[in-house]
């Protein structure tokens, strides 16, 4: 096993395609495999103005193939069906999502890693008015729906990372750049170009016997979005910190993760002077999760899970239409994974969510069901 390459890819996994599979690994002799799944969430949002019901079904496909020693390819896409039911009307947003392709290779005795990612615009080219209403719900930072948007145009990202060992720890540093192409988010607006993005990252991982700990930080620098060649909006820069712990003592395994996103102030262009003051559209974000698994039988593993998400209020005053209060959700549940055969593994999970959004103005509740089949070729 090429440990240096593994940790290099772990450090840059956040910066590439962010596919549902998470972290790629360059491992000698690893076979090609694919994961097919069904992911469903049903949310209920209650407020003084009424109740909105938002549901989403997703069928993700994640394919991995080793090209040769030190090189690999991953392809991820999905189909999603989203429905919004409120007191006024029912709307749907359905279709194929963008296809993400990632190629990675390690060099110079696995001390360097190069990762190239491409987002192919196979999803929605533009949204109709009724679909745009659903898209506004999907973009809410207090919801954790698996598909947030159905298309974002062509983009290309390149990441270079370097790993080295110091004492009993593996360290990594990396940098990369993402180019975002022009696309048409809504049918009645001109082409829109999201700002390109630079990222800097660093991480460390230590193996302490039964316990493994890891941490990494990423700094994201955004350029301004443009429309018809003019600057429109610029996302505030972000600092993303993550930490993880894994403890294994047969037949038990305990994992815990924490993530904290510190968001800078956004900037608006092309608006009256009174509205140009920089402010956060979204508050800082804290996420916690843990899972406990028990190997009940040779082929059967039972899993219990819990998670929490806290989003701070944004910078706008409470009287402003852009103001969003603090939000939080808590989820818990569990499931199992079962090895059907040597090259097949089935997993099923069920989770319940509850919480408050926009300064306790919205009551949240949700049910999540997830199943996946892992197939090794």
Q: Which among 307, 361, 359 has a CA at the least distance from the CA of 329?
A: 307
Confidence of residue 28 (pLDDT cuts 50, 70, 90): low
Confidence of residue 23 (pLDDT cuts 50, 70, 90): very low
79-83, 97-101, 264-268 — which is least confidently predicted?
264-268
pLDDT at 22 over 80: no
The pLDDT tens digits of the residues spanning 146-167 come to: 888 888 889 999 999 998 888 8
Write down all domains in the chain, each with its CATH number in brackets: 3-376 (2.40.160)
pTM for this predicted structure: 0.88
Report the sign of the C-alpha dihedral through residues 179, 183, 185, 189, in that order: positive
Query: What pLDDT shows up at residue 29?
Result: 61
Confidence of residue 241 (pLDDT cuts 50, 70, 90): very high
31-40, 83-92, 343-352 — which is least confidently predicted?
83-92
Average confidence score pLDDT of the chain: 87
Query: What pLDDT shows up at residue 26?
Result: 55
Higher pLDDT among residues 342 and 372, named by residue: 372
Q: Among residues of the chain, what percentage have pLDDT more than 90?
A: 59
Identify the helix (H) or strand (E) that includes residue 131: helix 129-138
Sheet containing strand 225-227, strands side by side: 192-193, 225-227, 230-234, 267-268
Phi first, then psi: give them for residue 99, nearest 5 degrees.
-105, 130
Instruction: Give the contacts of 168 (CB within 8 A, at least 6 positions apart).
Output: 206, 207, 208
Identify the helix (H) or strand (E) that includes residue 7: helix 3-12
Tell me the C-alpha distance between 282 and 274, whole Å.
20
């Amino acid at each position: 096993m090429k440990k240096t390459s593994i940790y290099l890819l772990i450090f840059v996994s956040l910066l590439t395609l962010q596919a549902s599979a998470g972290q790629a690994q360059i491992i000698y002799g690893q076979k090609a495999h694919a994961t097919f799944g069904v992911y469903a969430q049903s949310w209920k949002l209650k407020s003084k103005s009424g109740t909105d019901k938002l549901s989403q079904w997703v069928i993700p496909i994640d394919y991995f193939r080793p090209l040769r020693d030190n090189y690999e390819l991953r392809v991820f896409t999905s189909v999603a069906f989203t429905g919004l039911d409120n007191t006024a009307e029912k709307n749907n947003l359905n279709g194929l999502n963008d296809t993400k392709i990632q190629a990675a290779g390690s060099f110079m005795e696995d001390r360097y890693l190069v990762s190239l990612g491409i987002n192919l615009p196979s999803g929605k080219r533009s949204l109709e008015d009724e679909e745009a209403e659903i898209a506004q719900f999907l973009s809410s930072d207090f919801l954790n729906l698996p598909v947030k948007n159905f298309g974002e145009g062509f983009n290309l990202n390149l990441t270079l990372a370097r790993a080295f060992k110091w004492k009993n720890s593996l360290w990594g540093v990396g940098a990369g750049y993402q180019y975002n192409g022009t696309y048409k988010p809504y049918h009645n607006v001109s082409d829109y170009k999201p700002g390109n993005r630079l990222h800097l990252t660093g991480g460390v991982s230590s193996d302490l016997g039964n316990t493994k700990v890891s941490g990494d930080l990423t700094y994201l620098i955004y350029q301004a979005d443009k429309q018809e060649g003019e600057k429109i909006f610029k996302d505030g820069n972000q600092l993303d910190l993550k930490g993880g712990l894994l403890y294994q003592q047969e037949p038990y395994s305990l994992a815990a993760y924490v993530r904290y996103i510190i968001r800078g102030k956004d900037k608006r262009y092309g608006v009256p002077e009174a509205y140009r003051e920089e402010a956060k559209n979204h508050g800082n974000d804290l996420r916690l999760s843990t899972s406990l698994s028990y190997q009940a039988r040779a082929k059967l593993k039972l899993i219990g899970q819990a998670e929490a998400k806290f989003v701070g209020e944004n910078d706008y005053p409470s009287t402003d239409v852009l103001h969003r209060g603090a939000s939080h959700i808590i989820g818990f549940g569990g499931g199992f994974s079962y090895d059907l055969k040597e090259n097949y593994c089935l997993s099923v999970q069920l989770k319940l969510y509850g919480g408050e959004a926009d300064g306790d103005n919205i009551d949240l509740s949700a049910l999540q069901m997830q199943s996946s089949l892992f197939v090794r070729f």
